[in-house]
Amino acid sequence: MDDGKVLVYRLGIVAMCLLHMVTLRAERFTVTGLEKPVLAPFGAVLELSCQLSPPQNAQHMEIRWFRTHYTQPINLYEDGKDLFGKIIPKYVERTELLKDAIGEGKVTLRIFNVNPDDDGHYHCIFKDGKFYEEHITEVKVIAGSSRVQILVHPPTTKGVIVECHSRGWFPQPHLEWRDSRGGVIPAASKSHSRNEDKLFDMKMTLLLRDSSLRNVTCCIWNRLTGQEESTSIVLPVEMFSWNFIWTMIVAVILTMMALFIIIPSIKLHILEDAQFDLDSMWLDDMTMILSMLMVFVVMLITFIFFILRGAQEHTAPRIENLQRNYVLFYHRRK
């Protein structure tokens, strides 16, 4: 019995030692790094660090950096050397692993010439034999422009179209028009495109129908960084004269047509008893007069149209000069 108890006791001690060794091996290190997202300016050099905890020599370990797929590393260190031939093509000659503190378990991935494709998550893995741990860092690429341009189109019968342009933003910024009091004016349209650098080029238009909104401001800002840029413009009253002219023309035409129709009808009603026998002849004459009137109105509108079109063509070079004079840059609102 004593020998059996001793055997059981020794087996228990061996089992506890093995369990303790497995536990120590499973918890021998973790990987730490930046917890908050890293802002990376477009075209800059980005550095991402990760470190073993507790600190220990990592020269014999495999250190792998990748984006979304483990088998597609953007940088790989193994057997004490960098394996550039195994990284994905778009990161060839764009990454460098700084190993000055690898004896303490710390490495830094350096990425050159940051672009919008670099936006996202980065996995850092330390692997020792079959045991590994990783840390994930989020990178947010940012780009902004201080160049905000306003262009003014020649006035038309609908009003004046104003365009706001700005190039080179990331991520996609927010745009809005504001009046002189800071109130938001609904835009006629908003659009964007991606340029050769995969940055956002923004465009926003506004239709001004009268001179009450001559003072407008184009505002654009990056919600991620808080960068805001704006440009203001004040349009001359003369650019809205077409609206008044067309209103007067339409009012005069409608008034004349109403008078030519209503007055004869009143006369007919007054004289219907005395001159009933002349009604048919009178109606025929009125039909002819109204027909001639309609022809006259059409000719008048056509004549006015050609006058206004010629005046608009004559005004176009002047409007282009106004565009150059009223385009303002680098007006910032913080």
Confidence (pLDDT) at 316 = 45
Report the relative pairing of strands 46-53 and 131-142 from DSSP bridges: unpaired
Q: pLDDT, tens digit, for every residue of 268-319?
A: 555 555 454 555 556 556 656 665 676 676 667 666 655 655 555 454 444 4
* Residues 149, 233 contacting (CB under 8 angstroms): no
φ/ψ of 182, rounded to 5, equals: 90, 0
Q: pLDDT, tens digit, for every residue of 180-215?
A: 899 999 999 999 999 999 999 999 999 998 778 889
Give the range among 51-65, 97-111, 306-320 with minimum mean pLDDT: 306-320
Provide the pLDDT confidence category of residue 236 given band limits of 50, 70 and 90. confident
Q: From CA 46, how far away is CA 141, in angstroms rounded?
A: 10
pLDDT at 23 over 90: no
Of residues 123 and 11, the one with the higher pLDDT is 123
pLDDT (mean) for 53-70: 95
Provide the pLDDT confidence category of residue 7 given band limits of 50, 70 and 90. low
Q: What is the token pair recorded at 5? A: 């108890």
* Residues 161, 206 contacting (CB under 8 angstroms): yes
Confidence (pLDDT) at 1 = 45
Provide the pLDDT confidence category of residue 167 given band limits of 50, 70 and 90. very high
Of residues 220 and 9, the one with the higher pLDDT is 220
Number of alpha carbons in the 13 Å side-chain half-sphere of residue 198: 10
pLDDT at 19 over 60: no
Count of residues making up the chain: 334
Confidence (pLDDT) at 333 = 40
What is the rounded average pLDDT for all residues in the chain? 80
Q: Whose structure tokens read 């890293």?
A: 38
The one-letter amino acid at 174:
H
DSSP conformational letter for 156: B
pLDDT (mean) for 51-70: 95
Give the range among 3-12, 82-91, 198-207, 247-256 with minimum mean pLDDT: 3-12
The β-bridge partners of 207 are 161
Confidence (pLDDT) at 237 = 77
Q: pLDDT, tens digit, for every residue of 242-263?
A: 656 666 666 666 676 666 666 6
